[in-house]
């Protein structure tokens, strides 16, 4: 049903693995322990051109598709790293690339490709609305050649390591639109300017070393030229990026799953109890085998989503199902790996507990597994809307 150039994808895998070899488990443990940011890793990935993979060649990128981008992020996680520190640049760029003006693309994409600018953040979620995006309360009011932003966002990642942010705000009050998905607009915000002129950043401590924040906007003025696309069409624009995001997250989960399975298999072969490797026991073998099957099945849906997206087809259903299957499979693999290691799974030096925490996030975000089930029930199975 879909074809990929295996040799090209394998070349990408080998290239990313070669880079990741310089950032071993000790590197990632230290970053995690310090609750730091992997600056050296991100710098190396940028200089190697991997974060510019999907930027067209005319803007300084490689002009690759979602398929190739998904392999890059998968391999980072499969090598024991955390691609959550860089994936924002991949999917946030879609909104600018697909809906930005030619002037905006010429102005920003070459600098993003060169690593001179970072587009790692997207401001959509709000504390009182969650996934009910059409009810967002952050407003952008046009005043002459500016928009004035007021409101609040939450769980906005990598603000401290980004220069630009994609921001969704309501430009027409909900009561004044025909459809609730109308009246929202997308803006490209200069974060340095914003933090000096009305945007306050409050970091949120969390169980994963994932830099995330709450944002407060108090009469932040931004130039009207920051608007991406047509005013009022932002919700439709953001969905393009979200489908790419969910597919890329699926690939990350598949990378995590393969790391867990390899880790568990190696330990089960080497660990001896009662005079025999524990991997001889079906009670150890079968859960690892099941986790492997689940990851391989999820991978097929990942490729379907990539194929549809790269060929301009509707990818919403496949992207959601890929994310669901991969998040479920990686979480199952994480538990199997933890159980296989027993007490040592909780020891930081084995890295299992770190990766266990990292992959748990994807059951909840971006978009929870329950919301995906609701989507499938309503839009694919034509069941009554449940909320």
- Per-residue pLDDT tens digits for 54-90: 999 999 999 999 999 999 999 999 999 999 999 998 8
The answer, yes or no, to whether residue 4 has pLDDT greater than 80, is no
Instruction: Write the CA distances from 128 to 132, 152, 153, integer angstroms.
Output: 9, 9, 9
The whole-number pLDDT of residue 130 equals 87
Q: Note the pTM of the prediction, 2 decimals.
A: 0.95
Q: What is the pLDDT of residue 94?
A: 85
Outline where the chain has alpha helix (H). Answer: 6-20, 25-33, 39-47, 66-78, 87-99, 102-114, 191-195, 234-270, 282-310, 316-341, 352-360, 369-375
Pairing mode of beta strands 121-123, 164-170: parallel
Percent of the chain with pLDDT over 70: 99
- Residue 2: the pLDDT is 61
Per-residue pLDDT, 379: 96
């Amino acid at each position: 049903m879909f074809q990929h150039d295996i040799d090209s994808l394998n070349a990408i895998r080998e290239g990313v693995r070669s880079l990741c070899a310089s950032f071993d488990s000790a590197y990632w443990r230290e970053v995690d322990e310090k609750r730091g940011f992997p600056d050296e890793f991100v710098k190396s990935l940028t200089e190697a051109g991997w974060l510019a993979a999907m930027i067209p060649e005319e803007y300084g990128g490689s002009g690759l598709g979602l398929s190739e981008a998904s392999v890059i992020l998968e391999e980072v996680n499969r090598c024991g790293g955390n691609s959550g520190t860089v994936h924002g640049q991949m999917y946030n760029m879609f909104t600018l690339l697909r809906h930005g003006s030619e002037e905006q693309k010429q102005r920003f994409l070459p600098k993003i490709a060169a690593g001179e600018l970072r587009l790692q953040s997207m401001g959509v979620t709000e504390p009182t609305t969650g996934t009910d995006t059409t009810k967002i309360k952050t407003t952008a009011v046009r005043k002459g050649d500016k928009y004035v932003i007021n409101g609040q966002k939450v769980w906005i990642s990598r603000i401290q390591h980004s220069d630009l942010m994609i921001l969704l705000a309501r430009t027409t009050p909900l009561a004044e639109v025909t459809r609730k998905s109308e009246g929202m607009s997308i803006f490209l915000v200069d974060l340095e300017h914003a933090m000096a002129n009305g945007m306050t950043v409050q970091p949120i401590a969390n169980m994963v070393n994932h830099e995330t924040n709450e944002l407060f906007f108090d009469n932040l003025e931004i130039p009207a030229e920051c608007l991406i696309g047509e005013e009022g069409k932002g919700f439709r624009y953001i969905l393009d990026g979200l489908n790419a995001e969910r597919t890329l997250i699926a690939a990350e989960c598949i990378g995590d799953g393969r790391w867990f399975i390899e880790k568990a298999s190696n330990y089960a072969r080497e660990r001896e109890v009662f005079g025999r490797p524990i991997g001889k026991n079906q009670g150890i073998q079968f859960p690892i085998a099941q986790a492997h099957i689940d990851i391989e099945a999820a991978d097929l849906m990942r490729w379907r989503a990539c194929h549809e997206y790269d060929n301009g087809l509707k990818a919403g259903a496949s992207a959601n199902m890929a994310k669901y299957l991969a998040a479920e499979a990686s979480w199952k693999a994480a538990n199997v790996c933890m159980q296989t290691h027993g007490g040592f799974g909780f020891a930081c030096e084995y890295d299992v507990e770190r990766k266990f925490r990292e992959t748990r996030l994807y059951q909840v975000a971006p978009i929870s597994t329950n919301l995906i089930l609701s989507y499938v029930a309503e839009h694919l199975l034509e069941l009554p809307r449940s909320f």
